[in-house]
Amino acid sequence: MTLEAFLPVAFVIGYFFGSIPFGLVLTRLAGTQDIRSIGSGSIGATNVLRTGRKSLAAGTLLLDALKGTAAVMIAGYIGGPNAAMIAGLGAFLGHLFPVWLKFKGGKGVATYIGILLGLFWPAMVVFCLLWLATAFTTRYSSLSALVAAFITPIFLWWFGHLALASLFAVLTLLMFYAHRENIKRLQAGKESRIGEKA
């Protein structure tokens, strides 16, 4: 199989990894209520935190990130940088739109971080620092993610990583779409802050 022919396979690999709903799996194993019935209804770490189980939220954050990292590293090892980026796109779409959950997934923040880790770790550090700084000052998880995601493609472009900047511009647009209800609540002053139960 040529490298070009592998690209669709890389996307499928990424989608498979990204679509694993770790937040739902961990909370079900722990015997908590279905996280899709509380808070934002998302399967991500922020919503898992609303169960009051910080360990489950941390586990969800870690596994949702690592599935993005695993996807790009496996695809990149087999097919090179282009395959890694395609797998990253697949992983992100898999997390947002998992076929197993009728295409209703998470918001993509942890998976975005994991993809950054696998493709260009300095940008992941920048993302995390921006997230932490915004979260510390505002206590809005959603706003922190949106600010960090907005800056990430600019950072990549500024340092000459044009292909990665293009990929993460697409992922950032997808993240803004996934956060559309959060954006409405932020504008209305009704968004829950970190640590609050929605």
Three-point CA angle 29, 35, 41, nearest 5°: 155
pLDDT score at 73: 97
Give the Cα separation of 150 and 152 in Å (integer).
6
Judge whether 168 lies within some domain. Answer: yes
Structural domain for 100, as ranges = 3-188
pLDDT score at 71: 97
Spans in the chain with pLDDT lower than 50: none
Judge whether 142 lies within some domain. Answer: yes
pLDDT score at 114: 98
Judge whether 172 lies within some domain. Answer: yes
Judge whether 196 lies within some domain. Answer: no
pTM for the model stands at 0.93
pLDDT score at 195: 64
Judge whether 177 lies within some domain. Answer: yes
The sign of the CA dihedral 53, 57, 60, 66 is negative
How many separate domains does the chain show? 1
Judge whether 197 lies within some domain. Answer: no
